[in-house]
Amino acid sequence: MNTLHSIAQLRAALARARQENKRIGLVPTMGNLHDGHIALVEKALQRSDYVVVSIFVNPLQFGPNEDLDSYPRTLAEDQRKLLDAGAHMVFAPSVNEMYPEGMDGHTLVSVPVVSEGLCGASRPGHFDGVSTVVSKLLNIVQPDLAVFGEKDFQQLAVIRKMAHDLCLPAQIMGAPIVRAADGLALSSRNGYLDETQRRSAPRLYQTLQHIEQQLVGGRRDFPVVIEEARIMLTEAGFRPDYLDLRDALTLQPANSETQDMVALAAAFLGATRLIDNLRFSLA
């Protein structure tokens, strides 16, 4: 497994892989890899012959008061994990390699509607940053497929819509959330939690499970169920950002006809913002 930092070198390596008729898979990441990322790599390995994992903490998707500077950068450890997982190539560009003329004035890819609300409401510009960097990575690598985690449910919907609208040839695939034994969705940001917060953190998933139980049990008073869930989160020490019920296919607000449902939540524990979601059927 090689690590390359330049777009030109990566393209040359990929040209060789393509000459050997290899099917190329891409797993875009921001590094600090955990088992959730490794599950994405495993999925890419099952469906392609040559897996590129990009590691790039993309400044364009961070707001001015967010954790760009403190976001953990652990390249050596990530390389070890990716070697063990069987990835073929790591692409770890610098900010200058990705944005040689800087980010001001850089072309932005913006996906309306699906980027709005939920994380898009509390993180203005975030999804433009994600769509822009993912479209760059897809253009650089030109993979047959790219795998993203379903924990970032809205992000995956944004990327699917972008790829569809822009006729990008890569197949966009989701991979299920990987959870710790106590139910907490794995995330690089879990590392910010102190011991007490880490003990409370699984309550986020438990709250989503409570919503599912109520709805599967027949309740349709969505606003009341959401309000109860908000109180549960607050009592567990969270500061909820949003809790919402959406149609899992369209991400439009759920209504009494919705069958493929997703409950989505973002909430702060101290300064750490955690997100999670739970998809379930009411058919």
The footprint of ligand PAF (CB under 6 A) covers: 28-30, 58, 61, 130, 133-134, 152, 155
**Considering the complex, what minimum distance in angstroms separates the CB of residue 195 from ligand PAF?**
26
Nearer to ligand PAF, 174 or 240 (CB): 174
28 beta partners: 54
The structure tokens 């495993």 sit at 42
Q: Coil, strand, or helix at residue 141?
A: helix
**Nearest residue to the partner ligand PAF, using Cβ:** 28
Give the nearer residue to ligand PAF in terms of CB position, either 71 or 268. 71
Taking the C-alpha atoms of residue 37 and residue 58, their distance in angstroms, rounded to an integer, is 17
Question: From start to end of the chain, where are the E strands?
Answer: 2-4, 24-29, 50-55, 89-91, 145-149, 171-175, 239-247, 260-269, 272-281
Nearest approach, Cβ of 236 to ligand PAF (angstroms)? 26
- Looking at the Cβ atoms of 133 and 145, the one nearer to ligand PAF is 133
C-alpha to C-alpha distance for 78 and 72, rounded to whole angstroms: 11
Nearer to ligand PAF, 188 or 214 (CB): 188
Amino acid at 192: Y
Residue 37 annotated to the active site: yes
Q: Which is nearer to ligand PAF, 45 or 134 (CB)?
A: 134
Spatial strand order of the sheet with 260-269 comes to 239-247, 260-269, 272-281
Catalytic residue, candidates 5, 34, 37, 126:
37
Token pair 């990322």: residue: 37
Beta strand 24-29 with 50-55 is parallel
Q: How far is the CB of 183 from ligand PAF (least distance, A)?
A: 21
Helix (DSSP H) and strand (DSSP E) numbers for the chain: 10, 9
Closest approach of ligand PAF to the CB of residue 196, in Å: 27
**Considering the complex, what minimum distance in angstroms separates the CB of residue 107 from ligand PAF?**
16
Q: Which residues are catalytic?
A: 37
